[in-house]
C-alpha cells in the first residue's frame, strides 16, 4: 500500500518498432539479495494463478527471469478495486485470483520453469471496513474482530486524530501505532500476533513459496519484522516496503538488517533524468545519489502504487521512454531489479479485468493487460542482466547531455541515445571479445540466431553504428553469434 512534467512525446520509428509490444498477441499458452545468477523479478500484478503458471512456462523461465512476484493470495474483502487484495479478512489461500490448489499448482509450475515465487504479504493490518462484512471465501469479520484469528485486543488504538488514522508522518509513534487509511492495525509487538503472522508465512513456505514482499513495512518497527522473520521454518528472500520521506524519522536504512528494502527514490530520480535532465548525470546512479547500498536495495522504474499515486515516475503510458528506462535499470549494476507488469487502467481504484463476480480473468496480453515484462526490449535485457551479473562498469562515455554508453566489464555493452536526433558516424569501445553480437534492443537471440540487427565487434573491441533518436544498442556475451 502507498499513500508528471512530460517532455514532448518524440519517439523514433526504431523505438516503436523495436521497443514496444507487438500490436497483436494471442493468450499465453496453457535472505539477502536474490541468490544465483538470475535476480530479475517480474511483478505480475493482480494476475490470477493459472495465468502466472502459464507465464512462468512460456515467458518468464525462457527469458531468464529469476523470480515472479504475485499479489496477496489470502482471503480479502469483497469488491472490484485493486486494493481489496490488501485488506485481509483471513489467511485462507482463497481469493479472486484463485484457490489454494491453483496457487500450489502455480508455485510448482513456476519452479519447474526455473522461476522462484515471491508473495506480496500483508502483515501490518487487516481490513479497513468500518462495518465489517463477509470476505471473498465466506469468512465473516468486523473491523477489529476476525473470528478464529484476531480479537479486539490484537489491534492498536492510537487515540489520535479523531479516528485512529495516521496524519503526521513525522511522528514515529503515529506511523507505527495508528491506522493506515483506516486499515485495522495489528499489534505486531504482541507474541500472539507475531505467532499468527508467522503461521501464515510458514503456510506459504510449505506451499513452496521462496520469499515475501512485506507490504507496509514502514508501519511496523523493524524489530517486530525481525521477530516474525525469526519464526519462519526456513530461509526466504525478504524485501520490505519502506517509502523514503525527506526529514521523516523512520528511514529505509533501519530495515536493512531484515533483508532488502524498496528504494522508492530510484524510480523518481530515473524518471526526472529521462524526462527533463541529462542521462550524463547517471554516471554514479544509485549509492552516489544517496540511495540505499546496492546489496540491500530493491529497485523498479514503477510499481503498482507509484503508477497510481506518484506523478514523478515513468509508466507503461510513456511507451518508448519507459522501455529505455527499464533497459538502463537492467543494464546498470545497482540493486535487485523488478520489472512491472500492469493492467490498463484509467482510474486510480480500477481493478484488473474481471468477470461479473469480480473474479480475475485469465490474462490476455495487450488486451486489457499491458504485459511490460514481455515488451521485447525489456524481456531481452533480462538476458543482458543475467549475462553481466557481478561485472563492474567500465568504458563510460557521455556527450554531456543525453547520449551515454558503458560496458559491464568484459561481458556486455550498452549505448543509449535519448537525444532528439540521431547520433551518426560514431564508433564505440566495448571491451568485448571480437565477434558478431545480436543487438538485443531490437532483436531476440535464440539458438544461435538473431531476429534483429547483428553488430560486429572488431579485434580491438570496437564497433561503428548510427543510433536513431530515443533508441539504444545492447550487446552481451550470451547473445554472441557462432
According to CATH, the topology of domain 393-479 is Immunoglobulin-like (2.60.40)
Could you give the CA distance from residue 457 to residue 434 in angstroms, rounded to a whole number? 5
Q: Choose the weakest-confidence range: 35-44, 267-276, 328-337.
A: 35-44
According to CATH, the topology of domain 13-388 is TIM Barrel (3.20.20)
Residue 183 DSSP SS3: strand
Residue 62 DSSP SS3: helix
- Give me the mean pLDDT over the 201-205 stretch: 98
Catalytic residues: 215, 241
**Are the C-beta atoms of 474 and 384 separated by less than 8 Å?**
yes
**Are the C-beta atoms of 268 and 291 separated by less than 8 Å?**
no
Q: Any bridge partners for residue 165, and if so which?
A: 179
Does residue 321 carry a pLDDT above 60? yes
- Give me the mean pLDDT over the 329-353 stretch: 97
pLDDT tens figures, 226-253: 999 999 999 999 999 999 999 999 999 9
Looking at every residue in the chain, the average pLDDT score rounds to 93
pLDDT tens figures, 355-364: 999 999 999 9
Does residue 10 carry a pLDDT above 50? no
- As a whole number of Å, the end-to-end CA separation of the chain is 48
Which residue spans of the chain are classified as CATH 2.60.40.1180?
Answer: 393-479
Q: Tell me, letter by letter, the H, E, C secondary structure of 391-428.
A: CCEEEEEECCCCEEEEEECCCEEEEEECCCCCEEEEEE
Could you give the CA distance from residue 265 to residue 267 in angstroms, rounded to a whole number? 6
Q: Where are the alpha helices (DSSP H) in 350-397?
A: 376-388
Which triple of cell numbers denotes residue 457? 565487434
Query: What does DSSP assign to residue 238?
Result: E
272 — pLDDT class (breaks 50, 70, 90): very high
pLDDT tens figures, 372-417: 999 999 999 999 999 999 999 999 999 999 999 999 999 999 999 9
Which residue spans of the chain are classified as CATH 3.20.20.80?
Answer: 13-388
Amino acid at each position: 500500500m502507498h499513500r508528471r512534467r512530460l517532455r514532448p512525446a518524440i519517439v523514433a520509428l526504431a523505438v516503436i518498432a523495436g521497443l514496444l509490444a507487438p500490436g497483436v498477441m494471442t493468450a499465453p499458452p496453457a535472505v539477502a539479495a536474490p541468490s544465483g545468477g538470475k535476480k530479475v523479478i517480474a511483478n505480475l500484478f493482480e494476475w490470477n494463478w493459472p495465468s502466472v503458471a502459464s507465464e512462468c512456462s512460456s515467458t518468464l523461465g525462457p527469458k531468464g527471469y529469476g523470480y515472479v512476484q504475485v499479489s496477496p493470495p489470502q482471503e480479502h474483502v469483497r469488491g472490484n478495486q485493486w486494493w481489496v487484495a490488501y485488506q485481509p479478512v483471513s489467511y485462507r489461500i482463497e481469493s479472486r485470483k484463485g484457490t489454494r490448489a491453483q496457487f500450489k499448482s502455480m508455485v510448482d509450475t513456476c519452479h519447474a520453469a526455473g522461476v522462484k515465487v515471491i508473495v506480496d504479504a500483508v502483515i501490518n493490518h487487516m481490513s479497513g471496513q468500518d462495518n465489517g462484512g463477509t470476505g471473498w471465501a465466506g469468512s465473516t469479520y468486523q473491523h477489529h474482530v476476525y473470528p478464529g484469528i484476531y480479537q479486539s485486543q490484537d489491534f492498536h488504538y492510537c487515540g489520535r486524530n479523531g479516528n485512529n488514522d495516521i496524519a503526521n508522518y513525522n511522528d514515529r509513534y503515529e506511523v507505527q501505532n495508528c491506522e493506515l487509511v483506516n486499515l485495522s492495525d495489528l499489534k505486531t509487538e504482541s507474541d500472539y500476533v507475531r505467532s499468527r503472522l508467522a503461521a501464515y508465512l510458514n503456510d506459504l513456505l510449505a506451499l513452496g513459496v521462496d520469499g515475501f514482499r512485506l507490504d507496509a513495512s514502514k508501519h511496523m518497527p523493524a524489530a517486530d519484522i525481525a521477530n516474525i522473520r525469526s519464526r519462519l521454518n526456513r530461509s526466504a528472500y525478504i524485501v520490505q516496503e519502506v517509502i523514503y520521506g525527506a526529514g521523516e524519522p523512520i528511514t529505509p536504512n533501519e530495515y536493512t538488517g531484515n533483508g532488502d528494502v524498496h528504494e522508492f527514490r530510484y524510480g523518481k530520480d530515473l524518471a526526472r533524468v529521462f524526462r527533463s535532465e541529462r542521462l550524463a548525470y547517471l554516471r554514479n546512479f544509485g549509492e552516489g545519489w544517496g540511495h540505499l547500498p546496492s546489496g540491500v536495495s530493491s529497485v523498479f522504474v514503477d510499481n503498482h502504487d507509484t503508477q497510481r499515486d506518484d506523478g514523478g515516475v515513468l509508466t507503461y503510458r510513456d511507451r518508448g521512454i519507459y522501455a529505455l528506462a527499464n533497459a538502463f535499470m537492467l543494464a546498470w549494476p545497482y540493486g535487485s531489479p523488478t520489472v512491472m507488469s500492469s493492467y490498463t487502467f484509467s482510474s486510480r481504484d480500477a481493478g484488473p479485468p474481471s468477470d461479473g463476480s469480480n473474479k480475475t480473468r485469465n490474462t490476455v496480453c495487450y488486451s486489457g493487460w499491458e504485459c511490460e515484462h514481455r515488451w521485447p526490449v525489456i524481456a531481452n535485457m533480462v538476458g543482458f542482466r543475467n549475462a553481466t551479473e557481478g561485472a563492474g562498469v567500465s568504458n563510460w562515455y557521455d556527450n554531456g547531455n543525453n547520449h551515454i554508453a558503458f560496458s559491464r566489464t568484459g561481458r556486455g555493452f550498452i549505448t543509449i541515445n535519448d537525444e532528439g536526433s540521431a547520433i551518426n558516424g560514431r564508433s564505440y569501445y566495448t571491451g568485448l571479445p571480437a565477434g558478431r553480437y545480436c543487438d538485443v534492443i531490437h532483436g531476440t537471440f535464440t539458438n544461435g540466431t538473431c531476429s534483429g540487427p547483428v553488430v560486429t565487434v572488431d579485434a580491438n573491441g570496437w564497433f561503428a553504428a548510427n543510433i536513431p533518436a530515443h533508441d539504444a544498442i545492447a550487446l552481451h556475451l550470451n547473445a554472441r553469434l557462432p
